[in-house]
Structure 1
Amino acid sequence: MIENIKRMQKVKNIREIDIKDKRILIRVDFNVPLDSELNINDDTRIREAIPTINYCIDNGAKSIILVSHLGRPKQRCEEFSLKTILKRLERLLLKDIVFVDNLDNAQIILNTLVDGSIILLENIRFYEGEEKNDDNLSQKLANLCDIFINDAFGTSHRKHSSTYGIAKYAKQKVAGLLLKKEIDSFAIALTNPLRPLLLIVGGSKVSSKLTLLNAILDIVDKIIIGGAMSNTFLKAVGYDTKASFVEDDLLEEAKHILRSAKEKNVKIYLPVDVVSTDNVKDSKEIKITPAQDIPNGFMVVDIGPATVKLFNEVIRECETIIWNGPLGVYENQKFSRGTFSISHAIANTYAYSVIGGGDTADAVDKAGDKDNMSFTSTGGGAGLELLEGIVLPAFEVLDKKE
């Protein structure tokens, strides 16, 4: 794992090349959450792309083309059009941006614009070839630029045309400032961390974190397991989890992880008490009980107060903390207390803290602790694969330092 992270740190970044008078294509990640009225709920990913765009502007780029996806569209539709984020982007950059709704017209429009212009291309996933890493689409994108900059960490684990295939044809391909910040931040936490090093892992499924748990046992000192995935571990140690979600086919794997942790002197902490309910969506009864005394017909939806106290004590002891996955159904206010308490505990330490993307970042934001974390990643799946020790495909194809 550590060697692979160091390999990814060796990619060239935008500060190490000359971009003056060059045509720049930046793969950004504007995949932001929208409400039913197509209003942006959280513009963090747009804001995180601004430093790289401004660097290109300030250093005399001839043109800047921004390429992103939004959602998982099956076909062209207003719901997933990047027109939705155009005005927000213009306000953040304090510049007019040319919107191009068809890739085939991009080169024609590019030739008519004054130097320094910025183009936002329509959702790249409107093109069927994007997710198939289509060679023709990759070449079309590369033809629009002299330099390809990947600044979309959230999609860096995908072999798509705009993140991977384009590099085959681009003259120069380097990391943007966000991509560099992401890999450097994970490197601080993993390659030479202040100890004790704590991993907090949650979410719904053990299966999604299995590789991570096995890979990281050689690095961390302590692991806290919460969320629905802790049900599988609780059942593996002999508790009856009643109606709670459990991956029964992974009970032996859970036992193996617990044994391996003990052999490697890694302390694993499971919930000692839980919040459970008869129905997640329409709760008639909510109970707090020891983890081994869940009522019949009830399912676990949060960690209990004794567990919060235990986990908080563990957090206070640690100097480096990595958190990936909420510890309960935090989206429901009734079941958010455990996750939010853990967020507050991390925010109140002096530890170096790395927050995994997706739901974890959203939970930290809702808890009001975002500004008190050392680093919040913009990538969910990408961050998870990085923690698993995988060299992310987007890094594989970028130019390397001498």
Structure 2
Amino acid sequence: MAWKTLDQMQLDGKRVLVRVDINVPVADGKVTDDTRIQRIVPTVKDILGAGGLPILLAHFGRPKGARVAEMSLQQLVPALEAAFDAPVVFAADCVGPAAEAASAALQPGQVLLLENTRFHAAETENDAAFAANMAKLGDIYCNDAFSAAHRAHASTEALARLLPACAGRLMQAELSALETALGTPKRPVTAVVGGAKVSTKLELLGNLVGKVDNLIIGGGMANTFLAAKGIDVGKSLAEHDMTGTAREIMEKAAAAGCNIVLPVDVVVAREFKAGAANETVAADACPADAMILDAGPASVAEVSKVLEASKTLIWNGPLGAFEIEPFNAATDAAALKAAALTRAGGLISVAGGGDTVAALNASGAADDFSYISTAGGAFLEWMEGKTLPGVAALMG
């Protein structure tokens, strides 16, 4: 790896500017889901343990360069103190006199939280002068926000080039997991790509067919591929204007030796609601007045066979309308199969993306996956083969 970790930095007595993602849901001033906060605890505790002084840089919401009271990071102080088991000092700005005074006064054992970086338009503009003002506050830069690494912002990109830089524990885990899954994977490699639209995952599919051995397509995307093969999908969600593109992807996959796995049977219903009357039919037998809402049991058996023969799995997106029962069945069954294979030591499984995390949590499979990324856009862009500015900046 070309990037450094905290273990390669001399932290004792040093002020460490740590870019974190603590953009968490808040209701009535209270954090309702502290997953992202918990993910940065190892980095903060390791810096404190090594005698360093952590100074947190973060964004919250989209204030678009204005000071928006409800987007102040001050409201997160109690949740951060509980997570770190350490006092958290708050500074009302991330640059300038208030931030500089707070940085200078920071004591060993304390954590400093700087105000929302996006209160300054210069942050999203990746402004060099703004980054230089942030750099004055610390001796070392540590990026622990993989989920923001696809943005070339001052606190993720420009700042990394002004100080000795390293990856935090979460960033290190994300990069290591993705390198294992797509960089130098154990083969055969299988990717599960689901979701509503082919159009939003074109680059992803185009990149994957050249890198993986099997590509399992689910959700509304699978309907578009079935339609591309001349199959009538009734009233199903499908992008009929994308069928030509779907055929191109199938041709590219065939040329690359990538096996595309589509549903062989489907669960159909006349209405999209929980507990709707449904039936399982062959993939090419969807009634004209029905819609495909899930893959059927024969499809799950096919997917399971592919997973059993795989060494590495990358998962992004559900296989059906997992949010409503019983159309979560295929996603749950495939996820639990992947979890069992991972638990048995035969599979490395990496998953990411909002819907994916929700689906795997709902199925009960999440804890047994090798790694689940909390990043959405950054995870997808990495899978698309793109260079992430925040990661590139750590490479020096």
TM-score with structure 2 setting the length: 0.90
Residue type at the aligned position of 1:201: V
Residue type at the aligned position of 2:374: T
What corresponds to 1:142 in structure 2?
A: 135
Of residues 95, 98, 101, the one that matches 2:92 is: 101
Aligned length: 389
For residues 273 and 203 of structure 1, the distance between their equivalents in structure 2, rounded to whole angstroms, comes to 18
Deviations 1:114-155 (A, max 9, x none): 234211123323333322223343222222111111110011
What corresponds to 1:196 in structure 2?
A: 188
User: Following superposition of structure 1 onto structure 2, how do residues 288-307 of structure 1 map, counting pairs within 5 Å?
Assistant: 288-307=280-299
Q: SS at the partner of 1:224?
A: strand
What corresponds to 2:243 in structure 1?
A: 251
**Which has the higher mean CA deviation after the structures are superposed, 269-278 or 372-381?**
269-278
- State, as a whole percentage, how many aligned pairs show the same letter: 39
Cα shift at 1:237: 0.6
1:88 matches 2:79: yes
What corresponds to 1:48 in structure 2?
A: 39
**Which has the higher mean CA deviation after the structures are superposed, 340-349 or 216-225?**
216-225
1:330 matches 2:322: yes
Cα shift at 1:255: 0.5
Q: SS at the partner of 2:394?
A: coil
Of residues 228, 234, 237, the one that matches 1:236 is: 228
Deviations 1:265-300 (A, max 9, x none): 221111122233444358754443322222334333
Residue type at the aligned position of 1:114: Q
Of residues 58, 72, 76, the one that matches 2:62 is: 72
User: Following superposition of structure 1 onto structure 2, how do residues 199-238 of structure 1 map, counting pairs within 5 Å?
Assistant: 199-238=191-230
1:157 matches 2:153: no
Q: SS at the partner of 1:315?
A: helix
Give the direction of change, closer, same or farther, for the CA distance of 1:184–1:240 in structure 2 (3 Å limit): same
Give the direction of change, closer, same or farther, for the CA distance of 1:261–1:113 in structure 2 (3 Å limit): closer
1:355 matches 2:351: yes
For residues 324 and 133 of structure 1, the distance between their equivalents in structure 2, rounded to whole angstroms, comes to 30
What corresponds to 1:381 in structure 2?
A: 377
TM-score with structure 1 setting the length: 0.89
For residues 362 and 43 of structure 1, the distance between their equivalents in structure 2, rounded to whole angstroms, comes to 15
Structure 1: which 5+ residue stretches go unaligned? 1-8
What corresponds to 1:125 in structure 2?
A: 118
Cα shift at 1:190: 2.5
1:60 matches 2:60: no
- Please give the root-mean-square deviation of Cα atoms over the aligned residues, in Å: 2.3
Give the direction of change, closer, same or farther, for the CA distance of 1:358–1:84 in structure 2 (3 Å limit): farther
What corresponds to 2:105 in structure 1?
A: 112
Q: SS at the partner of 1:306?
A: helix
| Kept after mapping to 2: 8 A contact 1:172/1:399 | no
Of residues 173, 188, 201, the one that matches 2:165 is: 173
| Kept after mapping to 2: 8 A contact 1:124/1:130 | yes
| Kept after mapping to 1: 8 A contact 2:232/2:286 | yes
Residue type at the aligned position of 1:106: A
Structure 2: which 5+ residue stretches go unaligned? none
RCO comparison, higher one (Cα < 8 Å, 6+): 1
For residues 51 and 186 of structure 1, the distance between their equivalents in structure 2, rounded to whole angstroms, comes to 19
Give the direction of change, closer, same or farther, for the CA distance of 1:282–1:359 in structure 2 (3 Å limit): closer
Give the direction of change, closer, same or farther, for the CA distance of 1:395–1:373 in structure 2 (3 Å limit): same
Cα shift at 1:164: 1.1
Residue type at the aligned position of 2:149: S
